[in-house]
Structure 1
Amino acid sequence: MNKALRNPLIYLIFVIPAFVLFLAFFIYPVFTAVNNSFTSWNGISKNITYIGFDNFVTAFHDVAFWKSVKNNVYFILFSCLVQVPLIVIFSLLIANVKKFKGLYKTAVFMPSIMSTAVIGILWGFIYNPDFGLANKILGVFGVSPIYWLSDKNWAMISILITNAWQWTGFYIVMVLAAILAIPKELEEAAAIDGATGFQRATKITIPLVMPIISVVIMLSIAGAMKAADIVLVMTKGGPAGSTDVMATYMIRYAITSFRHGFGNSIAVLIFIFTIIITVLYQVLISKRTERIEY
C-alpha cells in the first residue's frame, strides 16, 4: 500500500477527474460568460456581434441596475448587522441549555435544508394581507393590515427577514460547533474567579470563536451577492423593481428579454463585485482575527 501511494500516477488518477469537472463546470463557464459579455447576442441565433464594452456602459447608465446593486447592499448589511449578531446570541443560548440540545439544533437547522420555493410560498402565506399570520399578530395591537410584498416600503425588508430565517440555522450550527469545542476548563476557571455568564460569553467564548464568526460573515456576504431565488419566488423583483437584486436583473435580460450578451455582462459584474468585497473583507477585517489556540 505504501509503495502504491509513492507512485505519482496514483495521485493523478484521483486528481484528474475532479480537475476535469472543475474545468468543465467552473473555468469554462466563467470564460464563456466573459466572452459573451462583449457581444450583442440573443442566446439562440448563430449571429454574434462583438460590441466591446457597450453592455457594461449600458448597465452603468441604467438606474434600475444601480437600484439592484443597492438592494444587494441591503442584503449584505442585514446579514452582517442583524443576522450575524442573532446567530451568535442563539448559538450561546443553545450551547448553555442542559436538556434537548439536539432538538434545538435540529429545529434551527431545518429551514436551511428546505427548498427556497417552499420557504417563499410559506412566508407568502405569512405575509398575506388578508389572513396572514404577520397581520393577525399586528391586528391584536390595533395595527392596520400591511401589504408586505406589494408595498415597496415593506417588500425588501420582508424578503430580508425571510432569507435570514432560512439561513440563520445553518450558520448557528457552525458557530455552535465551535463553541462546544472550547474546553470547559476555561469557563469553569472564569466562573471560579467570579466572572458572570455575560462576561464569560464576551471575554472568553466570543473571542475564541471569532475565526468561525469571520467565516460566517464572509459566507453571508457571498450569499447576499448571489441572492436571487427567494426574490423570484416571493416578488419577482417587484413591486416596480423595488426588490430587484443584480441576479434577478441579470435573469430578466438574459432569459426573459433574450439579451444574452447583456445578461452575461451583469453576471461578470456580479463576479467582479463579489471578488472585490470579499478581498476587502479579508484584507481589512478577516486577517485581524487571530486564530486562538487553546
Structure 2
Amino acid sequence: MNKAMRNPLMYTLFLIPTFIGIILFFIYPVINAAFYSFTDWNGIAKTYNFTGFANYTKAMSQSAFWVSVRNNGFFILFSVFIQVPLIILFSLLIANVKKLKGLYKTAVFMPSVMSTAVIGILWGFIYEPDIGLFNHVLGLFGIEKIYWLSDRSWAMISILITNAWQWTGFYIVMVLAAIISIPKELDEAAMIDGATGFQRAMRITMPLIMPIVSVVIMLSIAGAMKAADIIIVMTKGGPAGSTEVMATYMLKHSITSFKYGYGNSIAVLIFIFTLIITALYQVLVARRTERIEY
C-alpha cells in the first residue's frame, strides 16, 4: 500500500474525479453563460443571433438593474456591519455558558438546516399586518401597524432580518469552534493577572479568532451576492421591485420573460461583481489578518 501511494499515478487517479466535477459543474457553466450572454437566445429556439455587448449595454442602462445592485449592496452591508458583530457577540456568550451549551448551539444552528420556503412562510406570518407578532407587539404600545412586506420603506429591512436569522447560527458554530480551540491556559493566565471577562474577550479571544471571522465575512459577502430564494418566497422582488436583487432580476428575465441571453449577461455580471468585491476584501482586509498559531 505504501509503495502504491508513492506512485504519482495514484494521486492523479484520485484527482481526476474532482477535476471532472469542477469542469462539468463550474468551468463549463461559466463558459456557457458567457457565450450565450452575447446572443439573443430565448432558451427554447434552436437558432440565435450574436448581439455583441448589446445585453450588457441594456443591463447597464436599466434603472431596475441598478436597484438590484443597490439591494445586493444592502445585503453585504447588513451582513458585514450588523450580522457579523452579532455572530461574534452570541459566540462569546455561548462559549462562556456553563450549562446546556449543547442546547444553545443546537438552537441557534436549527434555522440553518430549515428549508428557506418554510422560513419564508414562517416569517410571513410574523410580518402579517393584522395578526402578525411584530404588529401585535407594536399595538401594545399604541403604534400603528406596519405593512412590513408591502411597504417599500420596510420590505428590504424585513428581508434582511429574515435572512440573517436563517444563517447567523451557521456562522456562530464556526466562530464557536475557533473560540473553543483557544488554549484555556491563555484565558486562565489572564484571569490570574486580574483581567476582566471583557478584557479577556477583547485582548485574547478576538485577536485569536480573527482568521475565522475573516472567513465568515467572506462567506457572508458571497452569500449576499447570490441571495435569491428568500426573496422569491417572501416578496418575489416587490413591492415595485424594491427588494429585487441581481439573482432574482436574472431569473425574472431569463426564465419568466424567455430572455435567456440577457439573463446570462446578468449572471456574468454577478460573477464579475462578486469577483471584484472578494478580491478587494482579500487585498484590503483579509491579508492583514495573520494566521494565528499557538
Which of the five TM-score ranges fits, normalised by the shorter chain? over 0.9
Alignment of structure 1 residues 208-287 onto 2, 5 Å: 208-287=208-287
Which digits, 9 at most, give the CA deviation of each residue in 1:160-209, with x for residues without a partner?
A: 00000000000000000000111111111111111111111011101100
**Equivalent position of 2:128 in the other structure:** 128
Q: Which runs of 5+ in 1 are unaligned?
A: none
Letter in structure 2 aligned against 1:151 = D
Q: Distance between the aligned counterparts of 2:257 and 2:46, measured in 1? A: 17
**Equivalent position of 1:185 in the other structure:** 185
Are 1:116 and 2:116 an aligned pair?
A: yes
Q: Distance between the aligned counterparts of 1:138 and 1:7, measured in 2? A: 69
**Equivalent position of 2:56 in the other structure:** 56
RMSD: 0.7
Q: Distance between the aligned counterparts of 2:288 and 2:12, measured in 1? A: 37
**Equivalent position of 1:194 in the other structure:** 194
**Equivalent position of 2:16 in the other structure:** 16
**Equivalent position of 1:104 in the other structure:** 104
Q: Distance between the aligned counterparts of 1:176 and 1:228, measured in 2? A: 28
Q: Distance between the aligned counterparts of 1:12 and 1:6, measured in 2? A: 11
Letter in structure 2 aligned against 1:239 = P
Q: Distance between the aligned counterparts of 2:16 and 2:194, measured in 1? A: 57
Shift of 1:4: 1.0
Q: Distance between the aligned counterparts of 1:234 and 1:29, measured in 2? A: 28
Q: Distance between the aligned counterparts of 2:71 and 2:153, measured in 1? A: 13
1:49 alignment partner, SS class? coil
Q: Which moved more, 1:260-269 or 1:10-19?
A: 10-19
**Equivalent position of 2:146 in the other structure:** 146
Q: Distance between the aligned counterparts of 1:57 and 1:65, measured in 2? A: 11
**Equivalent position of 1:204 in the other structure:** 204
Q: Distance between the aligned counterparts of 1:42 and 1:67, measured in 2? A: 24
2:238 alignment partner, SS class? coil
1:195 alignment partner, SS class? coil
Which digits, 9 at most, give the CA deviation of each residue in 1:188-240, with x for residues without a partner?
A: 11111111111110111011000000000000000000000000000000000
2:3 alignment partner, SS class? helix
Which digits, 9 at most, give the CA deviation of each residue in 1:49-107, with x for residues without a partner?
A: 00000000000000000000000000000000100000000000000000000000000
**Equivalent position of 2:30 in the other structure:** 30
1:274 alignment partner, SS class? helix
Report how many residues are paired: 294
TM-score by length of 2: 0.99
Q: Distance between the aligned counterparts of 2:152 and 2:55, measured in 1? A: 28
Shift of 1:7: 2.1
Shift of 1:13: 2.1
Q: Distance between the aligned counterparts of 2:97 and 2:131, measured in 1? A: 36
**Equivalent position of 2:155 in the other structure:** 155
Q: Distance between the aligned counterparts of 1:49 and 1:238, measured in 2? A: 33
Shift of 1:19: 1.1
Letter in structure 2 aligned against 1:33 = A
Shift of 1:292: 1.8
Letter in structure 2 aligned against 1:172 = I
Alignment of structure 1 residues 38-77 onto 2, 5 Å: 38-77=38-77
Q: Distance between the aligned counterparts of 2:6 and 2:194, measured in 1? A: 56
Shift of 1:15: 1.2
**Equivalent position of 1:6 in the other structure:** 6
1:39 alignment partner, SS class? coil
Q: Distance between the aligned counterparts of 1:66 and 1:291, measured in 2? A: 37
1:40 alignment partner, SS class? coil
TM-score by length of 1: 0.99
Letter in structure 1 aligned against 2:9 = L
Q: Which moved more, 1:237-246 or 1:13-22?
A: 13-22
Shift of 1:283: 0.2
